[in-house]
Amino acid sequence: MNILLTGPTGFIGVNFLRQALNRGHGVAALLLPSEVISSDLQAQANLRIIVGTLADPPWPQIQSFVPDSCLHTAWITTPGVYLESPENDRFLEWSIQFAEKFFANGGQYFMGLGSCAEYQPARQPLAEDASRLNDSTRYARCKTALRLALAQLAAQHHCQAGWGRVFYPFGVGEHPARLCTTLITKIARGEPVVLKTPESTKDYIYIDDLATAILTALEHRFAGALNLGTGRGVTVRHIAKLIGTHLRHPELISAASQPLADPLDYMVADIAKLRSLGWQETVGFAAGLHRLCEHLLLRLNYPQSGHS
């Protein structure tokens, strides 16, 4: 495939880029003028870097690449900010215009990324066609609007559109405010950790596994909404216990005497559709957490030997 990729330096985008190049696909990465692609990726012969913005893409350069597929990952994702940021509205407008031009120029398949935040929380696995959707945040409303617009544009151009609902990605390169990195950093520094929502259960997917899931969907040109998770819920308590054991400091971890209520208490994916495409985890949760621990220990200048 010839894949047009937005957001190639983001947590998801850069890992997808690496997987797609490794599988031999051609990729045109739409790179902001202020961004840089890592040197190991720049050396790949099947990568073309196109400098521009989502709001004002350089379409002549994009057309010369002749993309047949597009993965759109660019969006605001800053923890603690993204759910109600006005940037959501701007990304929605830019994304619709971008997709419309992509289809008008001969593109055949467009996949946008949303998240499990589009769902109403439930005590059972969330299914694409059965679970209730959530419109309580600006982020969720804008993502839903984009999903519907993509389906309409694809139908108008006799093409296909997919929509990936990402659950809880984690791994090397994640934002430092994310749960796993926060816990690892604090425990490695010998700081006590009090778990405010110890039984909160989420579907955590290691970033490499997420990248292969997205690529599998593109290769199959999956149309419609598709959950991108593992189908397995993991509690905050279990994550902290694994990290504490790995770092040999389980005594630093305790649960709050009066845990807080988590409005997203149980968010786990039904991945029957993803499995039907032949996707399977290759890293998994425990091994992925181990990789992240070792990576952060190295960055923090803590010894890695003996932490296993």
CA–centroid distance for 99 within its chain: 20
Cα separation values, 22 from 26, 47, 67, Å? 10, 11, 18
Residue 152 burial (C-beta neighbours within 10 Å; 0-12, 13-18, 19+): middle
| pTM for the full predicted model | 0.94
Residue 145, SS3?
A: helix
Return the C-alpha torsion angle 20, 161, 92, 59, nearest 10: 60
Q: Which H or E run includes 26?
A: strand 26-31
Q: Which H or E run includes 2?
A: strand 2-6
Regions of the chain where pLDDT drops below 70: 302-308
Q: Residue holding tokens 């997917």?
A: 205
Written as one letter, the residue type at 99 is A
Which of 290, 189, 282, 307 lies closest to 239 in space, CA to CA? 290
Rg of the Cα atoms in the chain: 20
Domains, the chain, ranges and CATH?
A: 2-168+205-228 (3.40.50.720), 171-203+232-299 (3.90.25.10)
pLDDT at 174: 95
Structural contact between residues 153 and 100, judged by C-beta atoms closer than 8 angstroms: yes
Structural contact between residues 47 and 67, judged by C-beta atoms closer than 8 angstroms: no
Contacts of 112 (CB under 8 A, 6+ apart): 72, 95, 99, 146, 147, 150, 161, 162, 163, 164
Q: CA 163 to CA 222: how far, in whole Å?
A: 8
pLDDT at 303: 61
Q: Residue holding tokens 């490794």?
A: 22
